[in-house]
Amino acid sequence: ANPNVKSGLSNTKDMIDQNILVTYNVLEAMRKNNVKKINFTSSSVVYGESKTIPTPENYSPLMPISLYGASKLASEAIISAYSSSFGIKGTIFRLANVVGPRSDHGVIHDFIMKLGENKNTLKILGDGNQKKSYIYVDDCVEAMVLASNSKDDVGVFNVGSDDYIDVKEIAEAVSKAMGLQPVLEFGSEDRGWKGDVPVMLLATDKIKSLGWKLNYNSLEAVKLTAEKIVSGSKHSGSQ
């Protein structure tokens, strides 16, 4: 699967091939081999620019504004159809921004790369006020394991933190992890790129009803991720 939201602006066919068609191929293989259960990682971007914050699983209409979001929603629909037609059960996880030490794309990774090239100035896409929820990978995995045995034919669960932070806070956290104090240069738009959702926060009552508990809020997840990536790069660079 292709998890890079921005790449849909330049590689439209790749987004279709690597998300929608891959999902279809997996489901076809399951049908032919009588495999009856799939756990699918979807995304918060299927909600588009939600008018309800936090956004619950039953929010409608689902109107993605990026090709990535559309490909995830289409994949969800295919899973639903295979469930109805062929008895394949599916658990769909609509994830907030998942971060961790192996992140190789996304805002934290981008900021670290930019500051590695220019320690004095950090150029930020958008006006810095975009607010989104971030969840540490360990918390995300725990939620998915807990809900993976959902008895619904097609169960849908939001997975995210209880809060959101803005891009400026992320820039400050990454800069601190790197021991830098760069000048932050912001754009003028309310979002980083076409298809970027400027505000995202998921309602997580459903997953919590199963006993799931969050260990890190958004800022803690971002700080921990930045610290681990920076620490890892320093370690690898010293070898």
pLDDT in tens, 103-116: 988 999 999 999 99
Q: How far apart are CA 81 and CA 96, in angstroms?
A: 25
pLDDT in tens, 192-211: 989 999 999 999 999 999 99
Residues of the chain under the 50 pLDDT cut? 235, 237-239
**pLDDT value, residue 239:** 38
The enclosing domain of 39 has a CATH number of: 3.40.50.720
Q: Considering the domain boundaries, does residue 88 fall inside one?
A: yes
DSSP per residue, 103-134:
--SSHHHHHHHHHHH-SSEEEESS-S--EE-E
Q: Considering the domain boundaries, does residue 30 fall inside one?
A: yes
Query: What is the radius of gyration, based on Cα positions, of the chain?
Result: 19
For 27, the domain range is 6-237
Q: Considering the domain boundaries, does residue 43 fall inside one?
A: yes
Q: Considering the domain boundaries, does residue 1 fall inside one?
A: no
Q: At what angle do helices 107-117 and 218-237 cross, to 10 degrees?
A: 40
**pLDDT value, residue 5:** 56
Chain-centroid distance, C-alpha 109: 14
pTM score, whole prediction: 0.92
What is the number of domains present in the chain? 1
- Which structure tokens are listed for 112? 């670290």
